[in-house]
Amino acid sequence: IEEKELNILKDLKDVIKLDTDAFIINHNGDLVASTVSLKNMSNEQQKIQKDWIKEQLEKETGFAVIKYKNNNGKDFFLSCTPIRDNRWYLITSIEILDEYIALSIIFAMVAFLVIITFGAMIIVIINRNTNYRYALEKTLYTDPITGGISYTNFERLVREKLKDTKPNVYSFISLDIHNFKLINDIHGGGGGNATLVHIHSMLRKYLDKDDLMCRVDADLFNILTKTKPIEEINDFFEKFATDLNSFNDKKKDKYFLKIKAGIYIIPGDQQSLMAIRDRSNIARKMAKNQHTTKLYTFAIFDESELLRQTREREFENTMEQSLKNHEFKMYLQPKINIQTGKIAGAEALVRWDSPVYGMIQPNSFIPMFERNGFIIQIDLDLFKQVCIFLKERIDNNLEPINISVNLSRIHLYNPNFLDDFIKIQEQYNIPSKYLEFEITESVAFEQLDAMEECINKIHEAGFTCSIDDFGSGYSSLNSLGDIPADVLKLDKTFFKVDSHQKIRNKHIITSVISLAKQLNMKVVAEGIETSSQAHFLQNIECDIIQGFIYSRPLPVAAFKEFLETWSDDIFCQTM
Ligand code: C2E
Ligand code: CA
Ligand code: CA
């Protein structure tokens, strides 16, 4: 930079004193900013400027300077500098004192104004980006419905807290509202959202300051808290759920927000957050199944539940193939007539003989098969195995025995369910009188009319029918007369009572048996394990016993042996 220019820059104060204008126009010639109002300019000045500027804009030449005289005969320089990608133009006019100085001033001013403009633009851009980032962060880090932290934010904070944590220090809670969908349906989305805000603020009120909490999705909340003793957890839920529902106090039509929660006690820092959350969800689903009038239910995760669920999924994937492979085996448990000492028949019970998992007991797969409907095929398959067993006896001129099969409730949803059984029976040509269907008490008493019709159909086909597990639920003795079953199977819980209840229980068993007799029903007592139980039952004229006292359920070969070796002597030894 030459010395002269430096001097000019130093004397900027003098520059200001000069008769100078600067303004910015856009491509259309509209004024964007200016140091003077155009109105203050002489007409002559304006005209020269406008014409020349127009010409420059049309030429799109870039930086240009002209010299002109104003009204008072003063010499001026006018410069035009495109800025902002030629979208704006910086125009300066300056009085010429010394041509060189004036030109230098123009350059200095242009440079100065260009820097200012770019500076301002950069500030605007940064500012805009900051606002954008702030808005982005807000959506990322806050939950739009509750205004609390978002799940992304929660995850980040949880990870920080769990870094190097010792076993069992923290618990992860998954919490939601029973039937929240109903609130949405009744009160609309707005009502639903207001409820979520209410839950959020109540949680915040009862959680510790350091606890982390957020709404994950719909009505699901996650919490990270210090592990507490069970009494304190109970206390927390009690207070929280009561306060949460206090809005009902003055309401005539009350509706309750029932909480269900799953708690996972975090065993250390080695687990992923996803695994932790999954476990709390599994626990929550367990809590969900507990029917209760309480305002809250919760369950603490236990590893065996996860194993069970994983196993269930594996079972579901292999069940069809297993059925084809004949892995579902019929076991037979003998029933003994305790008045005569003779074999009265047997109950067919399924076992899953899996090459992968070994022998699986029905309680581990029947409930799942009832849920997914596969039990229908299992029951039909067992029935077929029963028919094959009886057919073999008939073909070998051995006396067939009475065999009962369990009928899952799922069959009863189909009014024609019996047809499939009859088809199999006809295929093997088995007389109906040897076949019995066991229907559990809970199903039989659920819908008395439908059950009566169903049993009538079973009878029409010539089969017999029993009420299974009688006394395990809440069946009323009064309704027994409405069910035309042939056999009443007393549940094993009758015989598993504490000693102080025994006398009372004996009276009940005696009355049930006498009632069944009056209704022309045979009585089978299940789960009999001791000779004192057997004696008692013999004395009160119970007909049949099924229990470990005589035999566990046996595979076919062992059952055949049982039939061959059973004798009055063995019977007497057990009594
Ligand atoms: P359930 O129908 O009440 O069958 C009687 C259960 O009591 C059998 O259990 C049997 O092994 C057991 N048991 C018999 N005597 C005694 C005893 O003296 N003491 C004790 N503690 N238990 C005894 P299992 O075979 O494990 O079957 C459990 C349940 O699974 C059955 O209860 C039945 O509800 C269901 N189930 C079994 N096989 C089938 C089937 O093929 N189809 C359907 N739908 N359900 C089945
Ligand atoms: Ca049964
Ligand atoms: Ca039973």
Q: Is the CB of 375 under 6 A from ligand 1?
A: yes
Instruction: Please check the confidence at residue 457 and state whether its pLDDT lies above 50.
Output: yes
Over residues 397-404, the mean pLDDT reads: 96
Would you place residue 89 in the very low, low, confident or very high pLDDT band (cuts 50, 70, 90)? confident
CB 171 within 8 A of CB 284: no
DSSP string covering 152-179: HHHHHHHHHHHTTPPTTSEEEEEEEETT
Q: Is the CB of 466 under 6 A from ligand 1?
A: no
User: Within a 13 Å sphere around the CA of 193, how many CA atoms are in the beta-carbon half?
Assistant: 8
Nearest alpha carbon, ligand 1 atom 16: 527
Percent of the chain surpassing pLDDT 70:
88
CA distance 277 to 281: 6
Instruction: Please check the confidence at residue 39 and state whether its pLDDT lies above 80.
Output: no
Instruction: Please check the confidence at residue 54 and state whether its pLDDT lies above 80.
Output: no
Percent of the chain surpassing pLDDT 90:
55
Q: Ligand 2 center to residue 491 CA distance, Å?
A: 9
pLDDT in tens, 235-256: 999 999 999 999 888 777 778 8
What's the DSSP call for residue 144? T
Q: Is the CB of 262 under 6 A from ligand 1?
A: no
The two most distant CA atoms of the chain are separated, in Å, by 146
Retrieve residue 17's tokens: 């004193």
Q: Is 143 strand, coil or helix?
A: coil
Over residues 203-224, the mean pLDDT reads: 95
CA distances from 544 to 342, 459, 513, 524, 569 (A): 10, 21, 11, 5, 18
Residue 127: the pLDDT is 84
What pTM did the predictor assign? 0.64
Q: Using DSSP bridges, classify how beta strands 170-177 and 259-265 pair: parallel, antiparallel or unpaired.
A: antiparallel
Neighbours of 457 (CB within 10 A): 15
Determine the residue of 329, 406, 417, 528 to mutate for testing ligand 1's pocket, defined as the one with the most ligand atoms within 8 A of the Cβ atom.
406
Residue 17: the pLDDT is 44
Atom of ligand 1 nearest to the CA of 382: 41
Q: Which helix (H) or strand (E) holds 260?
A: strand 259-265
Residue 10: the pLDDT is 44
Sheet containing strand 20-26, edge to edge, reads: 31-34, 20-26, 88-95, 75-83, 64-69
Q: Which residue has the tokens 């005289």?
A: 69
Ligand nearest to the CA of 438: 2
pLDDT in tens, 262-285: 999 999 888 899 999 999 999 998
Residue 129: the pLDDT is 82
CB 154 within 8 A of CB 262: no
Instruction: Please check the confidence at residue 398 and state whether its pLDDT lies above 50.
Output: yes
Q: Is 140 strand, coil or helix?
A: helix
Determine the residue of 526, 528, 548 to mutate for testing ligand 1's pocket, defined as the one with the most ligand atoms within 8 A of the Cβ atom.
526
Q: Ligand 3 center to residue 286 CA distance, Å?
A: 26
CB 296 within 8 A of CB 259: yes
- Compute the mean pLDDT over every residue in the chain, rounded to the nearest whole number: 87
Neighbours of 357 (CB within 10 A): 16
Instruction: Please check the confidence at residue 38 and state whether its pLDDT lies above 60.
Output: no
Q: Is 24 strand, coil or helix?
A: strand
Pick the more confident residue, 72 or 429: 429
Q: Ligand 1 center to residue 347 CA distance, Å?
A: 9
Nearest alpha carbon, ligand 1 atom 21: 527
Residue 385: the pLDDT is 98
| Residues forming beta bridges with residue 174, ordered by sequence position | 222, 262
Q: Ligand 3 center to residue 512 CA distance, Å?
A: 16
Instruction: Please check the confidence at residue 58 and state whether its pLDDT lies above 80.
Output: no
Q: Is the CB of 304 under 6 A from ligand 1?
A: no
Over residues 439-463, the mean pLDDT reads: 90
Residue 339: the pLDDT is 94
Over residues 484-495, the mean pLDDT reads: 93
Residue 380: the pLDDT is 98
DSSP string covering 280-345: HHHHHHHHHT---SSSEEEEE--HHHHHHHHHHHHHHHHHHHHHHTT-EEEEEEEEEETTT-SEEE
Q: Is the CB of 382 under 6 A from ligand 1?
A: yes
Give me the count of residues in the chain.
Answer: 575
Residue 8: the pLDDT is 41
Ligand nearest to the CA of 546: 1
| Amino acid, res. 73 | G
Q: Is the CB of 278 under 6 A from ligand 1?
A: no
Neighbours of 364 (CB within 10 A): 14
Out of 8-17, 120-129, 514-523, which region has the weakest mean confidence (pLDDT)? Answer: 8-17
Neighbours of 432 (CB within 10 A): 17
Nearest alpha carbon, ligand 1 atom 23: 527
Out of 234-243, 282-291, 306-315, which region has the weakest mean confidence (pLDDT)? Answer: 282-291
